[in-house]
């Protein structure tokens, strides 16, 4: 591959994100199904709908550029999602699995935030004002999704995972007393 200009890098990075979003489209329904918390399940479902809109934005940007969306596989997203999928094979307490799903999902969102931040900045530098606007919208959605995941984790899910119901009987009275202290 040859990259001679920021415009070429811009297109390559957009293709990486386009491929990443399609991988995410396949993964989110599985993550929603695996979630025990209704709020987390709903969050994944909502982000699935948002992701479809994000793909539409990228389609519009490629159409305006007169470029093909194809030609790049996002190896990083494949790896992140593979780690997430491994969780679904594990025999885990439901609340612990929810905490782990959030950790996996936040890794995905952070990758997207980095990618969209870069292409939004390139679009601006290259004078693609409509694309700048569209990419900023997606960037805002990814950031908001990351924040919502933090709110779910901090608000309840991580706390429930500290001492899942099914595990309480296994803890000694001394351990429980220590936790209450
Ligand atoms: Fe996305
Ligand atoms: Fe990538
Ligand atoms: Fe996302």
* pLDDT tens figures, 28-76: 999 999 999 999 999 999 999 999 999 999 999 999 999 999 989 999 9
Question: Contact 15/22 with Cβ under 8 angstroms?
Answer: no
- For residue 169, is pLDDT > 50? no
Tell me the CA–centroid distance for residue 109 and ligand 1, in Å: 7
Tell me the CA–centroid distance for residue 143 and ligand 3, in Å: 8
Q: What's the number of CA atoms in the CB half-sphere (13 Å) around residue 2?
A: 1
Averaged over 16-20, what is the pLDDT? 98
Averaged over 129-151, what is the pLDDT? 98
- For residue 176, is pLDDT > 80? no
Print burial letters for 170-181: b (CB count within 10 Å at least 16), e (below 16). Answer: eeeeeeeeeeee
Ligand found nearest the CA of 77: 2
First to last CA, the chain: 60
Can you give the pLDDT at residue 166? Answer: 61
Q: What is the pTM of this model?
A: 0.89
Set out the domains of the chain in order of their start, with CATH numbers: 6-180 (1.20.1260.10)
What distances in angstroms separate CA 59 from CA 27, 49, 81, one per listed residue? 20, 16, 23
Tell me the CA–centroid distance for residue 175 and ligand 2, in Å: 44
Per the listing, tokens 């900045």 go with: 121
Tell me the CA–centroid distance for residue 108 and ligand 1, in Å: 9
Can you give the pLDDT at residue 173? Answer: 46
pLDDT in tens, 87-101: 989 899 999 999 999
Quote the tokens at residue 59.
């389609």
């Amino acid at each position: 591959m040859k990259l001679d200009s920021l415009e070429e890098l811009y297109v390559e990075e957009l293709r990486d994100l386009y491929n990443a979003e399609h991988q995410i489209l396949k993964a989110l329904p599985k993550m929603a199904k695996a979630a025990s918390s209704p709020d987390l399940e709903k969050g994944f479902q909502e982000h699935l709908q948002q992701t479809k809109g994000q793909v539409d934005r990228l389609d519009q940007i490629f159409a305006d550029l007169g470029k093909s969306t194809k030609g790049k596989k996002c190896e990083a997203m494949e790896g992140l999602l593979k780690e997430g999928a491994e969780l679904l094979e594990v025999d885990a307490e439901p609340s612990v699995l929810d905490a782990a799903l959030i950790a996996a999902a936040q890794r995905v969102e952070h990758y997207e935030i980095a990618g969209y931040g870069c292409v939004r900045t390139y679009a601006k530098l290259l004078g693609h004002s409509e694309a700048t606007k569209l990419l900023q919208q997606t960037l805002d959605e990814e950031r908001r999704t990351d924040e919502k995941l933090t709110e779910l984790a901090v608000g309840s899910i991580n706390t429930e995972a500290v001492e899942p119901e099914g595990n309480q009987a296994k803890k000694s009275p001394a351990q429980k007393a220590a936790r209450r202290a």
